Amino acid sequence: MRSFLIPAIIFLSILHSCDKNRKTTTENEIQKFSEFKNIERIECYGYLKDRDTIYMALHIKNDTLIEGDLSYSLNEKDSQKGSIRGRLKGDSLFADYTFSAEGKNSIREVFFLRTGKGFMEGSTASIQKKNRMVFTNKDFDIHSDFPLIRMDCR
């Protein structure tokens, strides 16, 4: 009887341990799902004229945190496609744009000014710092020739 009891206890211990791991995995999955559910809204913006296209899809959390997609396809220039992650502060969107162009991966700061109909991108002097292009000041030139207008998401 005793020889049967020891293997049974070991088996039940292993079974309990496996169940505990399964519970942790389920808790992690629930946490990831909860973070995804915290996305309050998704907004998409675009520019399309002649052979130029810009598309930006934003997942906005808590009215300030954003992440999403940003792509540029401008006539006679290399296309860029990547992800955007940053913050909305009032009518200003500051973010890091991680993208691929010319077979190279890059990161650069981007700035967009919110308008009544969407966003306009702004630019200013930048420098390379730790594998990332960063702004050297906040004196942005706003590019009104490429307005991103609110549109249906793709």
To the nearest whole number, what is the mean pLDDT of the chain? 83
Q: Which of 34-38, 82-86, 106-110, 118-122 has the lowest mean pLDDT?
A: 34-38
Instruction: For residue range 4-32, list pLDDT tens digits in order.
Output: 445 545 554 554 555 444 444 445 544 54
Residue 50 exposed, middle or buried by CB count within 10 Å (0-12, 13-18, 19+): exposed
CB atoms within 10 A of CB 91: 10
Mean pLDDT of 114-132: 95
Instruction: For residue range 138-147, list pLDDT tens digits in order.
Output: 999 999 999 9
What's the confidence (pLDDT) of residue 77?
Answer: 86
